Structure 1
Amino acid sequence: MNRLPVADRPTVRRAAWALMTYEKRAVALILALHIAAALAAIAAPALVGQIVNEVNAGATADSVDRLALLIGVCVVIQVILGRYAQYFGHRFGERSIARLREEFVSRTLALPISVVERAGTGDLATRSSVDVANVGNTVRDVVPVVIIASTQLILLFGAVFVLHPLLGLVALTGLPSIMLVSRWYLRRATPAYLLEGAASAELTDELTATAEGARTVEALRLSGHRVERGTDRIGRQWQTRRATLALRSVFFPVVETSYAVPVAAILLAGGFFYSRGMVTLGAVVAAALYLQQAIEPLDRLLQWMEQAQRGIASFSRVLGVGLVPPEPRGAESAPSGQHLTVRGARFAYGGGPDVLHGIDLDVRPGERLALVGPSGAGKSTLARLLAGIDAPHAGSVRIGGLPVTDLEPAERRRRIALVTQEHHVFIGSLRDNLAFAAPGASDEQMRAALAAVGADWAADLPEGLDTEVGDGGRQLPAADAQQLALARLVLADPHTLILDEATAALDPTTARRTERALGAVLAGRTVIAIAHRLNTAHDADRVAVLEGGRITELGSHDELVRIGGAYAALWHSWHGPAPA
């Protein structure tokens, strides 16, 4: 399975910078408030040191009270500024997350269908849920913490240098070990978290496949096999999580030990300097308080480093969706007609052997063509080529003289629609589900489309078109959901329609009624139907028989039955032999 790409570090840095600078004024305000709050915070230790010096010099209680009052004022100012800094920071974070989600949805919807199918639902689902959530947490929580903590640390260590340069040098004694272990951790963390994300996507793939195919698993007694595959994926995820835990088990103990080093060093060196008259006792006390105060922002900064690494890895995966080349914009000129032609088309999946071998086919405008053949003959693959989802590696598929894949994607979808036996009911009202195909459709047009495909159940819904369907609403049976998908098709009104077992979920009677209703609605349009029910072939203008990736027979139903070939055998086995 081909995973979606992952963005590299330079791409992540550029995107993060763009995200942070999108609202420059908001960022400037947040930084100013954080800096002001940090300045108010560092005033308190300096005032404590001043109190120590004045008491040592024999100060009165009034002067000590005044300094204590100033400390209280600084604390109040710090709380107020910090509160508003966090308030504006979280608002900025939520706006940034909203933009990120909108951009991700836009990039996802722009992905070529073939890319989505090759990547699998697990990878895309993990990126759209877990990874986007991780990035959101990073932007909303981690980035403000990093900004606040970094600002506080710069000001606190700067304040120690202001007290005395020698004390400032001593205060840096704990940083080398922290920097070394942080460098060691950062080099290994992002690749480790990327592997953890990939393992999570693989597990999601397996669970999704097992859940969606639960009936098949039960019918074929594949439970043991699926459990083994699931256990294997869980094992891989456990290994990747164990690897990230091993990194944390080294990183955090070293950091915690390094906190005590500068405080002890400042007290020892400060006592030595004080005994020689190089610094005041208040300066030593203030420096020790600054270093003690620095532990909290440093600890927060390093604690959030793990989440930051998760966020960076997730951001790489989220941005990777945008690295997939979009569908080509296609030709500026429109096709000169609706004639579909296939010449010498060959196709293979993922570099494997050819599944189509030199297909030649002409589909006339307004014709109804049925594609029949055994499973694996290449019917669905040919349908994908006709719809422009995939391109042949040899030969051509053209409409109106232009290659189908060269058409503007919107123009191609307007002209050609592919409907498979897979269908989806979106969360929302029945009207919302129909409006996807034709946003400007009226209620009368929607009801007519439902009636056209035989969806009589829609008229009995308690709230009509406003009835909520999908998860959390009215659950539509598979047959009703497939009729809803066909009603969307009627509203979309394409000129060429490709039905790939589109009525497979319907019972034979309902399927026959639906096909006849569709036949009346789609009169004059080109219809290419792929089905195992040969009634569709009987009603078609022509029938193409595919065997082993080749068209072996082509003609009307009566012609093919008369020549007694593969189609005749299929027809007699399905419908019964003709009477003698």
Structure 2
Amino acid sequence: MRTTATSSPGRSVSSQLPVAGPAEVRAAARRDLRAERRTVVGLVLVNGLASAAGLIGPWLLGRIIDTIQSGSGDVLSTVDRLAFGALVFTVVQTVLAWWALKIGYRFGERTAARVRERFLRRTLALPPRVADHLPAGDLIARGSTDASVVAFTLRSAVPEVLVALVHALFLIVAVLVLDLWLGLCGLVSLLGVAAAVRWYVRRARPAYLAVAATGADMADVVASTAKGARTVELLGLERRRSEVTEAAVTRARSARLSALWLRTVLFPWAEVSLALPVVGVLLIGGALYANDLVSLGVVVTATVYLRQLVGPLDTLMLWIEQLQGAGASYARVEGLADVPTTESEPTGSADGDRIRVDNAHYSYTGARDVLRGIDLVVQPGERLAVVGTSGAGKSTLARLLAGLDRPHTGSVTIGGTPVADLPPDQLREHVVLITQDHHVFHDTVRDNLLIAKPDATDDELRAALAAVGATWWEDLPDGLDTDLGEDLDDAGAQQLSLARVVLADPHTLILDEATALLDPKTARRTEQSLAAVLQGRTVIAIAHRLQTAHDADRIAVMEAGELVELGTHDELVHANHVYGRLWHTWHNS
């Protein structure tokens, strides 16, 4: 089963990300096992020794019964020796089983870390224009819920299941060696367990994939509703969003109930089947003993072996649900490798820093262009402000200039090379887009800044913070070494993001509401500080405060997806068209 995602030059991927097929999951599991080859061999060896030690006790019990029944020799002394031997081997089995679980848990922790790191590397390696259009809820669910399920299974289920499998195998072989007929009787009685497992496994993968997919869909709906709560309230869409949310919850509930129904069939069937081997051996063994074909000790030993078999089989039945769910989660985590990029690896190289937009058209859906016929040239070192009413296309133009999206027709180039064709490392050297969205890692102030420039000195870090007007760090208990978290407010987090840009030192900086979360006075001071630091660099500001546009070298005015005016502040005010009317309205108010 595979879920694929489609993409287009404008919008990419469908409502769900790809899901790896069974063959891909098996290949990934083999790679993870090969990476821990010595640990896996040690785990199997110690488990084998523990299981072998566990077989001695029941065998000695049978010898005790036969010795007492025969009554020959020093019965009491022989029974004492056999009982002491059973005690010793029980202790040995316990110690070896503890050692095996310890090895298994360590294996699980290392492998879980490898799976998480692989998922993170794949996420970070996605081209920005692809990553930006991924369904956020599905991606979050895979990186958190699915990765956690896989990690838990590797830590707990894998060692316990492996111990149970090895133990069960040794017990079955022991019964067959002890007496072929009793062994075959036990195996035939286990067919009910095999049938129950086969029935469940054939239906479990689709069911658990549906649970994961509907859960991701619900997370996506909740996240998008929360993010756009203000817009929903403004447009009066509360009822529609409630209906969408209810539908997502209903689908998730239905999927979970379907998976639960599978378990309600599996477990009762398995419980009855697990009792059959002991019953069968007692009946057949009793008949064989009555006809002097086997000794009483052999019957008791075989019965104990098969009774012990219930333990590992019960463990396997309890974990089978977790393994099926983990298999579906593993497929979703590995499916990130199949996210289509739709484009070849960028290999361009810019010759200069002149940005040129020629007859650019762009549409998010393909049905209607949100940008139409944009022609614009931004000279190196120029400060350009882009203004316009809400929905005029300002942020979309910023994304094209930053290489996050590619125009459907026309071109956006830097130094003669399409911006979207530049490799990520070269692109960041030329253009950086910074918005009001930001992220603060739960780490120190220093490490949060070193992301942009790993070799920066403390003096450079302090200078970057000062450049954006961030003085709050001086009041922190450990200065640059203070751990940041939820206590940093939005304004401080935004200044931290701006400081990263200062450290990255791109030639062209695109600011899209980069100071929106700051109060007007702080925003003004931050913009002036940035302007001083970025002197000589190209700055393109999506201006929501007209005072920002006033300070620019030129102003580009957007309206309904078109560039309708371009000129200096004085020229546009004198012309008294779109910008002039906006300025007079804002200035008078």
Asked if Structure 1 and Structure 2 have the same fold, meaning a TM-score greater than 0.5 normalized by the shorter chain, the answer is yes
Distance (whole Å) between structure 2 residues aligned to residue 25 and residue 538 of structure 1: 68
Cα distance change on mapping 1:179 and 1:234 into 2, 3 Å: same
Whether contact under 8 Å (2:452, 2:503) holds in the other structure is yes
Q: Which moved more, 1:104-113 or 1:304-313?
A: 104-113
Q: In the alignment, which of 52, 56, 73 is matched to residue 69 of structure 2?
A: 56
Displacement of 1:524 in angstroms is 0.9
Q: Match of 1:486? A: 498
Q: Match of 1:172? A: 187
Distance (whole Å) between structure 2 residues aligned to residue 437 and residue 26 of structure 1: 38
TM-score normalised to structure 2 length: 0.92
Deviation track 1:230-286 (CA, whole Å, cap 9, x = no partner) reads 444333322222111111000000000001212111111122223333323222221
Q: Which moved more, 1:249-258 or 1:530-539?
A: 530-539
Matches within 5 A, 1:453-492: 453-471=468-486, 475-492=487-504
Q: Which moved more, 1:44-53 or 1:140-149?
A: 44-53
Distance (whole Å) between structure 2 residues aligned to residue 476 and residue 167 of structure 1: 70
Secondary structure at the counterpart of residue 133 of structure 2: helix
The one-letter code sitting in structure 2 at the alignment partner of 1:241 is R
Deviation track 1:284-334 (CA, whole Å, cap 9, x = no partner) reads 221111111100000001110011111111111111223225685422x63
Q: Match of 1:45? A: 58
Displacement of 1:226 in angstroms is 5.3
Matches within 5 A, 1:31-180: 31-59=44-72, 60-180=75-195
Displacement of 1:188 in angstroms is 1.5
Matches within 5 A, 1:95-494: 95-212=110-227, 228-325=243-340, 329-331=345-347, 334-471=349-486, 475-494=487-506
Distance (whole Å) between structure 1 residues aligned to residue 275 and residue 381 of structure 2: 83
Unpaired runs of 5+ residues, structure 2, are 1-13
Cα distance change on mapping 1:444 and 1:235 into 2, 3 Å: same
Secondary structure at the counterpart of residue 190 of structure 2: helix
Distance (whole Å) between structure 2 residues aligned to residue 414 and residue 68 of structure 1: 77
Q: Does 2:25 align with 1:9?
A: no
Displacement of 1:219 in angstroms is 7.4
Aligned length: 573
Displacement of 1:125 in angstroms is 2.2
Whether contact under 8 Å (1:496, 1:527) holds in the other structure is yes
Distance (whole Å) between structure 2 residues aligned to residue 6 and residue 112 of structure 1: 19
Q: Match of 1:560? A: 572
Distance (whole Å) between structure 1 residues aligned to residue 292 and residue 490 of structure 2: 88
The one-letter code sitting in structure 1 at the alignment partner of 2:558 is L
Q: Match of 1:534? A: 546
Q: Match of 1:510? A: 522
- Percent sequence identity over aligned pairs: 51
Deviation track 1:340-397 (CA, whole Å, cap 9, x = no partner) reads 1222322222444222223222211111111112211211111111111112222222
Distance (whole Å) between structure 2 residues aligned to residue 181 and residue 26 of structure 1: 32
Q: Does 2:40 align with 1:24?
A: no
Distance (whole Å) between structure 2 residues aligned to residue 62 and residue 485 of structure 1: 81
Deviation track 1:397-436 (CA, whole Å, cap 9, x = no partner) reads 2111112121111111121100112222222222222222
TM-score normalised to structure 1 length: 0.93
Whether contact under 8 Å (2:554, 2:569) holds in the other structure is yes
Displacement of 1:462 in angstroms is 4.2
The one-letter code sitting in structure 2 at the alignment partner of 1:253 is P
Displacement of 1:221 in angstroms is 7.4
Q: Which moved more, 1:387-396 or 1:256-265?
A: 387-396
Whether contact under 8 Å (1:86, 1:144) holds in the other structure is yes
Displacement of 1:16 in angstroms is 0.9
Distance (whole Å) between structure 1 residues aligned to residue 476 and residue 294 of structure 2: 85
Whether contact under 8 Å (1:450, 1:483) holds in the other structure is yes
Q: Match of 2:513? A: 501
Secondary structure at the counterpart of residue 336 of structure 1: coil
Displacement of 1:452 in angstroms is 1.6
Q: Which moved more, 1:381-390 or 1:337-346?
A: 337-346
Q: Which moved more, 1:567-576 or 1:492-501?
A: 567-576
The one-letter code sitting in structure 2 at the alignment partner of 1:542 is R
Cα distance change on mapping 1:547 and 1:297 into 2, 3 Å: same
Distance (whole Å) between structure 2 residues aligned to residue 163 and residue 566 of structure 1: 96
Cα distance change on mapping 1:206 and 1:107 into 2, 3 Å: same
Secondary structure at the counterpart of residue 535 of structure 2: coil
Distance (whole Å) between structure 1 residues aligned to residue 187 and residue 169 of structure 2: 12
Displacement of 1:470 in angstroms is 2.2
Q: Which moved more, 1:284-293 or 1:392-401?
A: 392-401
Distance (whole Å) between structure 2 residues aligned to residue 564 and residue 149 of structure 1: 82
Q: Does 2:555 align with 1:543?
A: yes
Secondary structure at the counterpart of residue 279 of structure 1: coil
Distance (whole Å) between structure 1 residues aligned to residue 472 and residue 90 of structure 2: 68
Displacement of 1:458 in angstroms is 3.5
Distance (whole Å) between structure 2 residues aligned to residue 416 and residue 267 of structure 1: 79
Whether contact under 8 Å (2:58, 2:304) holds in the other structure is yes
Secondary structure at the counterpart of residue 341 of structure 1: strand
